[in-house]
Amino acid sequence: MPLKRSGQLFSTLMFFWLSGGAALADEPLPLPEDKTVCSPSGIYCAEVRVGSGPLKNDPRTTVLKSGKALWSMPGWFRDPYLADNGDHLVVGNDGLGLIPMRYNPPITILTFWRRGELVRKVPLSEIVLDASNLGITGSHRLWGRTLGFDEQGRFVVQTVEDRALAFDPKSGLLVDIWPKSLHEN
């Protein structure tokens, strides 16, 4: 398995979604707030700031090592993950596993960045094989969930099709899939 307990996590999430917890998923997302996320090793951290001033109209993400800023980029992100090299930031879709009921098919699920420069956007079609498998909540569709980095430094997501996908954070390309049987001819 790519992550410890990932199968248990997915089973727990599916139970939650299928047992009526999906209704909670239709609650409004919390308002953006300042936060700090760290790489798996904790060596690098990203300060994700909503902005300053009364309008908070200048959101910024700054990556630090030992409190010293290394690089920054415009933007506040609800679901950011910082790689252990401090250079790569992976951002999950703002809906935290949910997309609008009526979505535009090329909707972006993951965005890969290197020191503030866009590397790649991963659309829903590369995450979910068949859109009819998307879960339905009261007002959204459920594609799956971001899980974070595995022991090999790959970024992993779990889909509603009970697949785990691993992406290279440097390129944003898909590098592994579990279970293999779904993709072997």
- Tens digit of pLDDT for each residue in 161-179? 989 999 999 999 999 988 8
Q: What is the pLDDT of residue 104?
A: 86
Query: Tokens in use for 80?
Result: 């950011």
Across the chain, mean pLDDT equals 83
Sign of CA dihedral 117, 120, 122, 123: positive
* Alpha helices for the chain (secondary structure H): 6-16, 22-25
Choose from 22-26, 29-33, 120-124 the range with maximum mean pLDDT. Answer: 120-124
**Which among 90, 119, 125, 93 is positioned nearest to 106, based on CA atoms?**
125
Q: How far is Cα 11 from Cα 5, in angstroms, rounded to an integer?
A: 10
Structural domain boundaries in the chain: 6-182
Q: Which two tokens stand for residue 109?
A: 């699920």
More confidently predicted of 181 and 29: 29
What's the average model confidence in pLDDT over 46-68? 87
Q: In degrees, to the nearest 5, what angle opens at C-alpha 165 toward C-alphas 101 and 98?
A: 20
Residue 21 has pLDDT above 80, yes or no: no
For position 17, what pLDDT does the model report? Answer: 43
pLDDT the model gives residue 168: 97
- The pLDDT tens digits for 39-50 are 999 999 999 999
Segment 102-158, tens digit of pLDDT: 888 889 999 999 999 999 999 999 999 998 988 888 889 999 999 999 999 999 999
Percent of the chain with pLDDT over 70: 81
Look up the pTM and report it: 0.81
SS3 content of the chain, % helix, strand, coil (to 5): 15, 40, 45
pLDDT for position 182: 45
pLDDT single digits (tens) 71-99 = 999 999 999 999 999 999 999 999 888 89
Residue 139 identity (one-letter amino acid): S
Structure confidence at residue 101 (pLDDT): 87
Q: How far apart are the C-alpha atoms of 172 and 115, rounded to whole Å? A: 14
Q: Which residue has the higher pLDDT, 13 or 63?
A: 63
Measure Cα distances from 160 to 92, 109, 156, 165 in Å.
Answer: 16, 13, 14, 12
